[in-house]
Amino acid sequence: MTSTTIKKKKTPTTQVFDQIEACVDAVIEKVGTEIRLGIPLGAGKPNQFVNALYERAKANPEIRLTIYTALTLEKPKGESLLEQRFMRPFAERVFEDYPDLNYEHDRTKGLLPPNVKVIEFYFPAGKYMHDQQAQRDYVSSNYTHIARDLIDQNINVIAQMVAKSKDGKQLSLSCNPDVTVDVMDAIRDRNCAFVAQVNNNLPFMYGDAVVPIETFHYMIDHPRYDFKIFGPPKMSIPDVDYMIGLHASTLVKDGGELQIGIGSLSDALIYALLLRQLENPLYRELLERTEIDGKFAEIIGRKGSRKTFETGLFGASEMFVDGFMELIKEGILKRKVYDDVSIQRLLNEGLIREDEIDIDALYHLLRRGAIHPVLRSSDFDYLQYFGILREELSYKDGYIHFPDGTKVEANLNDDHAHEALIQKGLGYALKNGAIVHGGFFLGSNAFYDWLRQLPEEERKLIHMKSVRAINQLYGHEELDRLHRKDARFFNTCFIMTLLGAAASDALEDGRVVSGVGGQYNFVEMAHALPDGHSVLQLRSTRKSKGKLKSNIVWQYGHVTIPRHLRDIVITEYGIADVRGKTDEEVIKALVQIADSRFQPELIRQAKEAGKLSEDYQVPSQFARNYPERYEGLLTKYKGDGYFPPFPFGTDLTDEELVLGKALTKLKEKTATKSGLVTAILKALFMGKPSPEVEKLLERMQLDRTQGVMEWLYRKLLIAELRWLK
């Protein structure tokens, strides 16, 4: 008889570096000089490692470096002299030691070396509109397809900033498990290098973000590489966004699911939801006085609610936004879901409770086939994981062992086991649920502080996941359908055609403003869920070179969301329910939420195309869509402290708030040649500034001027600040 020796597969070890240059050496030695580097979207980039690798490529033309990423972040600098002087002290204070990415500095100046290429699938909104190289190197792809696309591009280096557990045994992908996990799983058997850069300022997050250290080939770990996480400043919320948020808040159902994006429109929706919960009588008064209740009562009654949140919401969003923090604090985002079909279905049916475990829970799971009558070890682990059995119990050789030394057969049909479990074996409440599923996060400094300080038990209620587990139903459809009751997916577009198609990522001339991201995924998903809805939010007008234009148009040369996926559209003037409607019904609904200054032309175009009956006229209640109607109303409530510019705080000082407002107005006035000439002529006749204005000029280094340009900038700024006495 011969014996076979089975060799155990060795667990890969992680090489740890306290010097980044040594890690760069190891990566090049492993994969060679043809480097295809994948780094996360947003805040999870390991900036110092990327900079060191980039500088190595700049110094050595034999290295060919292609960087695949999205949303490259950079400290704000400003374009004009005034903007630069405003931004410099602000950036130094707010971003502190955040190291900008060197490739970004060179790219914005057109100085990338020929052996380096940067490919992105999502841009900071509007940043690269006039950058031809960035426009050429943009990849248009749904977020759920990015992992696939990176794999197809033969990525051979993945580098990510990570958090390390207190015991040093685990890492967390923290703000970016969105794509990394899927790509690493797919290419692990290739000749590749996975690099983790530890940053102790990064919150340790849970869910799929937690991985063993051995997941990475190399780890850079030294306090000198800690830096402040990039925290984009909060944007002020204008009146138009507040009105859109009010309308949107009426469509959210208690007990439902919520997805939102980033920016002032999302913050406005969060603010309105907080009003609905915390000051419901005032909220209802607002709906009545703004005529939202009167005009849109029917759709609110069918698809929304005005009531407070008792059951609460579940958040499933590719981006775990800092607005969710506000909803969690106020008990709105609190509905837990569980990653198990049987348990979630029983909860949805009301057959088991989260906060009280009884013996019936075991038998319901038994009848659903989730466990066996005679519990196996896997059944026991399952029941303990979800809190149905107490954690102090143990399982061995077919018996359940209790802390007092007794044991019973693990047979649910056994009377002794039944009684013992009732007396001392059942848990107290379900465990390992989640109130948020997120793919990545990016937010304010206050948001990061909150996450770091959140007790571990509460932080575990936030499950960071692969974006493919959030942005689509495929592969986990049965469970997602149970989680996503009354799902509402709120996203933003900048152009809507009268037939219901939306442009959200690019202009009709092909220039990319931002990217598709996950918008198409969520719109498509809304149509796959029987009680789900896609809600596209849209400001009805915009200013272009000093001229007012409608964002609702007859046709547009680019589409992100096709007309056959139209659902609900919201502007500051109302709600258009356009799913399953005829073309004429869609046109009427969208005309009714357009700015009244553009309604006649829109109607003319639709009639000319034969899509609207010749006798159609805008109903009188929708023919008064002018900003003055809601601005005056909101002004009254602002006097009582509501609808502030920055409801969730700001990093700007009082001086910077005043200066920022003045600079914004000055930029608008000088956007055209005639506006610039008018502004200069007025500025030339401005007298001596007040002490308050002089102090602001000092902040802008314009208390003393050198040369004609500084003198002119000083005059222009004095003119914008003349209201300060």
Q: Convert the pLDDT of each residue in 101-127 to its tens digit.
A: 999 999 999 999 999 999 999 999 999
Look at residue 102 and give its three-state secondary structure.
Answer: helix
Model confidence pLDDT, tens digit, residues 525-535: 999 999 999 99
Which residue is listed with tokens 């400290």? 75
Longest pairwise C-alpha distance within the chain: 107
- Report phi then psi at 515, rounded to 5: 165, 165
Model confidence pLDDT, tens digit, residues 559-589: 999 999 999 999 999 999 999 999 999 999 9
Q: Is the pLDDT of residue 700 over 60?
A: yes
Beta carbons within 8 Å of 247's beta carbon, 6+ residues apart: 292, 296, 570, 571, 572, 574, 575
Q: Is the pLDDT of residue 181 over 60?
A: yes
Q: Following DSSP, what letter does each residue of 466-511 receive, concatenated? A: -GGGTS--TTSHHHHHHH-TTEEEEEE-SEEETTS-EE-SB-TTS-
The bridge status of strand 547-550 relative to strand 502-503 is unpaired
Contact predicate 35/157, CB 8 Å:
yes
Other C-beta atoms closer than 10 Å to the C-beta of 354 total: 15
Other C-beta atoms closer than 10 Å to the C-beta of 153 total: 14
Which residue is listed with tokens 């796959």? 528
- What integer pLDDT is reported at residue 489 of this predicted model? 98
- What integer pLDDT is reported at residue 287 of this predicted model? 97
- What integer pLDDT is reported at residue 689 of this predicted model? 87
When mean pLDDT is compared across 53-67, 81-95, 596-610, the lowest value belongs to: 81-95
Name the token pair of 369: 């086939």
- What integer pLDDT is reported at residue 687 of this predicted model? 80
Q: Is the pLDDT of residue 302 over 70?
A: yes
- What integer pLDDT is reported at residue 5 of this predicted model? 38
The bridge status of strand 193-198 relative to strand 157-164 is parallel
Angstrom distances, CA of residue 623 to CA of 215, 521, 593, 629:
61, 35, 9, 12
- What integer pLDDT is reported at residue 665 of this predicted model? 87
- What integer pLDDT is reported at residue 683 of this predicted model? 85
Name the token pair of 450: 């909150």
Half-sphere exposure of 655 (CA within 13 A, CB side): 13
pLDDT band, very low/low/confident/very high, at 301 (cuts 50, 70, 90): very high
* Structural Rg of the chain based on CA atoms: 29
CB-based burial label for 353 (10 Å; 0-12, 13-18, 19+): middle
- What integer pLDDT is reported at residue 724 of this predicted model? 63
Name the token pair of 268: 């406005």
CA distance 312 to 48: 42
The helix/strand count (H/E) of the chain reads as: 27, 26
Name the token pair of 11: 């667990």
Other C-beta atoms closer than 10 Å to the C-beta of 188 total: 12
Name the token pair of 84: 């630069």
Mean pLDDT of the chain, nearest integer: 94
Q: Which of 25, 537, 455 is nearest to 249 (CA)?
A: 537
Helix residue ranges per DSSP H, 164-263: 180-187, 239-249
- What integer pLDDT is reported at residue 377 of this predicted model? 96
- What integer pLDDT is reported at residue 442 of this predicted model? 95
Q: Following DSSP, what letter does each residue of 249-270 receive, concatenated? A: HTTPPTT-EEE--SSHHHHHHH
pLDDT band, very low/low/confident/very high, at 158 (cuts 50, 70, 90): very high
- What integer pLDDT is reported at residue 10 of this predicted model? 47
Model confidence pLDDT, tens digit, residues 351-360: 999 999 999 9
Model confidence pLDDT, tens digit, residues 626-676: 999 999 999 999 999 999 999 999 999 999 999 999 998 888 888 888 888
Beta carbons within 8 Å of 565's beta carbon, 6+ residues apart: 523, 524, 527, 534
CATH 3.40.1080.20 domain residues, the chain = 239-311+324-336+464-622
Q: Which of 655, 660, 657 is nearest to 644 (CA)?
A: 657
Q: Is the pLDDT of residue 7 over 60?
A: no
pLDDT band, very low/low/confident/very high, at 8 (cuts 50, 70, 90): very low
Which residue is listed with tokens 């969003």? 317
- What percent of the chain has a predicted confidence (pLDDT) above 70? 98
b/e code 103-134 from CB counts within 10 Å (16+ = b) = bbebbbeeebeeebbbbbbbbbbebbeebeeb
- What integer pLDDT is reported at residue 312 of this predicted model? 98
Q: Which of 14, 50, 68, 57 is nearest to 32 (CA)?
A: 57
Q: Which of 570, 572, 590 is nearest to 491 (CA)?
A: 570
Model confidence pLDDT, tens digit, residues 236-250: 999 999 999 999 999
Identify the H or E element spanning 542.
strand 541-544
Quote the strand ranges of 19-143, DSSP E: 34-38, 64-69, 116-120
pLDDT band, very low/low/confident/very high, at 233 (cuts 50, 70, 90): confident
Angstrom distances, CA of residue 482 to CA of 134, 168, 342, 469, 535:
41, 36, 10, 14, 21
Beta carbons within 8 Å of 623's beta carbon, 6+ residues apart: 596, 599
pLDDT band, very low/low/confident/very high, at 546 (cuts 50, 70, 90): confident
pLDDT band, very low/low/confident/very high, at 519 (cuts 50, 70, 90): very high
Q: Following DSSP, what letter does each residue of 274-316 receive, concatenated? A: HHHHH-HHHHHHHHHHTTHHHHHHHHHHHH---S--SS-BEEE
When mean pLDDT is compared across 384-388, 467-471, 702-706, the lowest value belongs to: 702-706
Beta carbons within 8 Å of 518's beta carbon, 6+ residues apart: 142, 143, 144, 318, 439, 467, 470, 471
Half-sphere exposure of 607 (CA within 13 A, CB side): 12
Angstrom distances, CA of residue 247 to CA of 89, 284, 697:
38, 12, 41
Region label for 153, one of left (φ > 0), alpha (ψ between -120 and 50) or beta (otherwise): alpha
Q: Among the CATH numbers 3.40.47.10, 3.40.1080.10, 3.30.70.1090, 3.40.1710.10, which is that of 15-225? A: 3.40.1080.10
Name the token pair of 212: 């063993």
The CA-CA-CA angle for residues 410, 412, 416, to 5°, reads: 75
Look at residue 355 and give its three-state secondary structure.
Answer: coil
Contact predicate 381/388, CB 8 Å:
no
Contact predicate 568/536, CB 8 Å:
yes
Q: Mean pLDDT across the stretch 315-320?
A: 96
- What integer pLDDT is reported at residue 672 of this predicted model? 81
Quote the strand ranges of 88-246, DSSP E: 116-120, 157-164, 170-172, 193-198, 206-207, 210-212, 218-220
Model confidence pLDDT, tens digit, residues 365-391: 999 999 999 999 999 999 999 999 999
- What percent of the chain has a predicted confidence (pLDDT) above 90? 88
- What integer pLDDT is reported at residue 3 of this predicted model? 37
- What integer pLDDT is reported at residue 476 of this predicted model? 94
- What integer pLDDT is reported at residue 9 of this predicted model? 42
Contact predicate 101/51, CB 8 Å:
yes
Look at residue 616 and give its three-state secondary structure.
Answer: coil
Domain 239-311+324-336+464-622 fold is Glutaconate Coenzyme A-transferase (3.40.1080)
CB-based burial label for 613 (10 Å; 0-12, 13-18, 19+): exposed
CATH 3.40.1080.10 domain residues, the chain = 15-225
CA distance 351 to 195: 47
pLDDT band, very low/low/confident/very high, at 4 (cuts 50, 70, 90): very low
Q: Which of 485, 530, 459, 470 is nearest to 311 (CA)?
A: 485
Contact predicate 315/490, CB 8 Å:
no
